[in-house]
Amino acid sequence: MQKFIIKRGDTSPALRFALLPESVSLVGAVVRFQMRLRGGATVIDRTAEVQSLFQPAVVAHAWYPGETDIAGRCEAEFRVTYADGTIETFPNHGFIDVFIVGDVPELPA
């Protein structure tokens, strides 16, 4: 299981993920990134970036402002719809653990 840590409110770095096995090809595929608060409702469901089509195929999620505003543990995955219409979700077992870590609160002026 892969772990990804980002601070609350940050939009960098992007979450990158290599699809295994290396024989996976994303030629003609559409990839979505989906994330939910652990055990909760989906909070992100949008198109992911394909960074490499094969050997290994690499996908990424670039954070939009507001997507990391709530600290906590999340579960994420990349859902691939291949050119022939079949669907495969990565990782195939479990989730990518995304930890959004709180930041140091600002002191009053």
Q: Tell me if 97 is assigned to some domain.
A: yes
Global pTM reads: 0.91
* Span 52-65, pLDDT tens digits: 999 999 999 999 99
pLDDT higher than 80, residue 67:
yes
**Which of 76, 80, 77, 46 lies closest to 64 in space, CA to CA?**
46
Q: Tell me if 55 is assigned to some domain.
A: yes
Domain that holds residue 7: 3-101
CB 75 within 8 A of CB 38: yes
The CATH number of whichever domain residue 80 belongs to comes to: 2.60.40.10
Please give the C-alpha separations between residue 5 and each of 35, 56, 66, 84, in angstroms, as whole numbers: 14, 23, 16, 34
Total tally of structural domains belonging to the chain: 1
Q: Tell me if 107 is assigned to some domain.
A: no
* Span 83-107, pLDDT tens digits: 999 999 999 999 999 999 998 877 7
pLDDT, position 14: 98
